[in-house]
Amino acid sequence: MAHTERGDDVGEAARGTGSELVREHAPTHPLDRVANRPGHVYRGHVFHIAGSPRVQDADAHLVAITDGAVAVGADGRIAWVGQWRDLPVEYASWRVTRAGFVLPGFVDAHAHFPQTYSQAAHGGGQLLEWLEQCIFPAEARLADPAFAELVAHDFVARRIATGTTAAMVFGSAFPAAQDALYRTSLAAGLRTVSGRGIQTVGPPAAAPLITSERDAVDLTAREIARWHGSGSDGRSALVQVAIVPRFSLSTTAHTLAALGELYASVKDQGVYVHTHLSENNRAGTGEIAAVLGTYGVERYLDTYDGRFLPGSRRGGESLLGRRTIMAHAVHCHDDELARMLDAGTSVAHCPTSQLFLGSGTMPWRRTVSSGVTVAMGTDVGAGDEWSIPGVLAASYGVHLSEPGEESVAIAPAELLFSGTLAGARALDCEGVFGNLDVGKDADLVLVDPTRVHALDMTLRYGIRAEDEATAQRQTLFALLLGLHEAAISGVVVRGRRLEPAVDPAVGLAESGAA
């Protein structure tokens, strides 16, 4: 049973909408009259998935408080969550911010920084053609430090605008571009895990992105030494680094062996691994067939598991672990899922990208039932959606449309879990953020539905069940599927309200590219 609570000051007509908390005057409270005190209280309709459940159990852990409050201490951590009317007296002098809804920050488990301007890029449709015709040339432009600076500013701006407080980011091949990403992310106060995209082989279109195998390792090692753990401030770092081979077709067995050795030497420092797995299965000529043919392995995952020699013989250290995230995993075999579960490796599910490139549908029931953590990824720019709620909406439709018994209507609480707590778990940071449990960092998204008329009207006048718990789930579903970025009124990380990122035109002028 979900925890559903409702403040007495919210009338029956306002049940579950949240927008009336912005429009109507509720009974006064001492907090309404006091500002500029050590802590901060965010008042609104609170939704989050409490504790540490599996996705299948998310509904039982749904916390829904119609007139709720989240008290955030001066240390940026959540001090208390509950009904507004029950706010403890020790928080009565803290400043208050009102919002229609208060949610945990969204987590994007897979996005491409150098593809910021590559959404809706037309080039052949299928993955390999699209890479050659659109993506490799676009990513090569970040060799210009001024242009890379502009991209970094816009990438960070899009994340703040859509409430994505933490992200696993596939980086640029160029160190100066990565430096720009990290600097801009730190200045904004966002959580970013990233790493330079590693390519040592590829088609002519990828030539500007390719390095020698020695440089591939050396540049990655320098990036780890320079940036991993930045912005820690005595707690979990805002910036962390990943080892990021683009995918197995962009490396050789020798490269994978060298990266495995590097990972073994830095794994204890909390370094991540991020790459693509089993994305496109076009018969005969797709990515998966090409990987199996190039390496002579039995399974795609073997190439990342140190078994990259013909016949899946071991050739080096595994890149799998608790801090490894595999993007897509659309066409995995059961034994691959079992191996990822055993290693603690997670999947970044990217339904909007899979639709755009015709890559197929990750089987939700089978993947989730394997026990592997499935987080959500935008996969910008194959994904045409920056917003994690937009990805959740696509995921709902995609999996409802799976054939026969595979069809599933993902529950509202499972959607919220997938866009928040699952992402934190995939990043091995579940103890730090991902929900609104007391003691965690206050990573929040504040929503004002009145900023988007269609969303506001849906929340105000949509049909709701008489049963309060069912009505809360209906409201959560309508909120997630209708949440456009214009309705996001505030983004908070570690208790700090993030300022809007630099305007793109300003970023262009400051970079010297204008």
**Which domains can be identified in the chain, with CATH numbers?**
3-104+434-497 (2.30.40.10), 106-386+394-408 (3.20.20.140)
pLDDT at 356: 81
pLDDT at 504: 44
Instruction: Return the number of other C-beta atoms located less than 10 Å from residue 33's C-beta.
Output: 10
Please state, in angstroms and as integers, the Cα–Cα distance from residue 315 to each residue in 244, 278, 303, 325, 446, following that order. Answer: 19, 21, 9, 21, 49
Q: DSSP of 323-339, one letter per residue? A: TEEEEE-TT--HHHHHH
How far is Cα of residue 248 from the mean position of the Cα atoms in its chain?
Answer: 23
pLDDT at 236: 84
| Residue type (1 letter), 128 | L
Buried/exposed code over 328-364 (b: 16+ C-beta within 10 A; e: otherwise): bbbbbeeebbebbeebbbbbbbbbbbbbbbebbbbbb
pTM for the model stands at 0.90
Taking the alpha carbons at both ends of the chain, their separation in whole angstroms is 57
Q: Which structure tokens are listed for 137?
A: 């040339």
Cβ 163 vs Cβ 485: under 8 Å: yes
pLDDT digits (tens, 9 = 90+) for 2-55: 444 333 332 223 334 443 333 333 333 333 333 445 899 999 999 999 999 999
In 3-state terms the chain splits into helix, strand, coil percentages (rounded to 5) of 45, 20, 35
Q: Which structure tokens are listed for 293?
A: 């043919």
Higher pLDDT, 491 or 512: 491
Q: Which structure tokens are listed for 22?
A: 């912005």
β-bridge mates for residue 253, sequence order: none
Say if residue 258's pLDDT is above 80.
Answer: yes
What does the alpha-carbon distance between residue 392 and residue 349 come to, in Å, rounded to a whole number? 10
pLDDT at 133: 82
SS3 59: helix
State phi, psi for 495 to the nearest 5 degrees.
80, 0
Q: Which structure tokens are listed for 73?
A: 């201490």
What does the alpha-carbon distance between residue 513 and residue 195 come to, in Å, rounded to a whole number? 24
What does the alpha-carbon distance between residue 202 and residue 360 come to, in Å, rounded to a whole number? 24
SS3 499: coil
Higher pLDDT, 57 or 15: 57
Q: Of the given ranges (110-124, 182-196, 481-495), which has the lowest mean pLDDT?
A: 110-124
pLDDT digits (tens, 9 = 90+) for 260-300: 999 999 999 999 999 999 988 865 558 899 999 999 999 99
pLDDT digits (tens, 9 = 90+) for 417-434: 999 999 999 999 999 999
Say if residue 71's pLDDT is above 60.
Answer: yes
Please state, in angstroms and as integers, the Cα–Cα distance from residue 30 to each residue in 20, 92, 361, following that order. Answer: 20, 6, 52
How high is the mean pLDDT of the chain?
89
How far is Cα of residue 26 from the mean position of the Cα atoms in its chain?
Answer: 35
Q: Work out the angle between the directed axes of helices 453-461 and 468-482 (0-180°, nearest 10).
A: 170
pLDDT digits (tens, 9 = 90+) for 330-362: 999 999 999 999 999 999 999 998 888 888 899
What does the alpha-carbon distance between residue 484 and residue 495 come to, in Å, rounded to a whole number? 23
Say if residue 198's pLDDT is above 80.
Answer: yes
Q: Where are the beta strands (DSSP E) in 400-500?
A: 444-447, 488-493, 496-497
Cβ 155 vs Cβ 139: under 8 Å: no
β-bridge mates for residue 42, sequence order: 70, 97
Cβ 196 vs Cβ 217: under 8 Å: no
β-bridge mates for residue 240, sequence order: 193
For the chain, what is the largest distance between any 2 Cα atoms, rounded to a whole number of angstroms?
72
Q: Which structure tokens are listed for 141?
A: 């432009």
Give mean pLDDT, residues 247-259.
Answer: 97
What does the alpha-carbon distance between residue 201 and residue 371 come to, in Å, rounded to a whole number? 34
What does the alpha-carbon distance between residue 416 and residue 433 come to, in Å, rounded to a whole number? 14
State phi, psi for 269 to the nearest 5 degrees.
-85, -5
Residue 404: which region, alpha, beta or left (left: phi > 0; alpha: psi -120 to 50)?
left
| Nearest of 339, 318, 372, 386 to residue 169 by alpha carbon | 386
Say if residue 215's pLDDT is above 90.
Answer: yes
Give mean pLDDT, residues 231-249.
Answer: 92
Share of the chain above pLDDT 70, in %: 88
**Which residues neighbour 506 within 8 Å (Cβ) at sequence distance 6 or greater?**
none
Give mean pLDDT, residues 74-83.
Answer: 97
pLDDT at 29: 38
Say if residue 511's pLDDT is above 90.
Answer: no
Instruction: Return the number of other C-beta atoms located less than 10 Å from residue 169's C-beta.
Output: 27
What does the alpha-carbon distance between residue 292 and residue 290 come to, in Å, rounded to a whole number? 6
Say if residue 490's pLDDT is above 60.
Answer: yes
How far is Cα of residue 151 from the mean position of the Cα atoms in its chain?
Answer: 19
β-bridge mates for residue 98, sequence order: 43
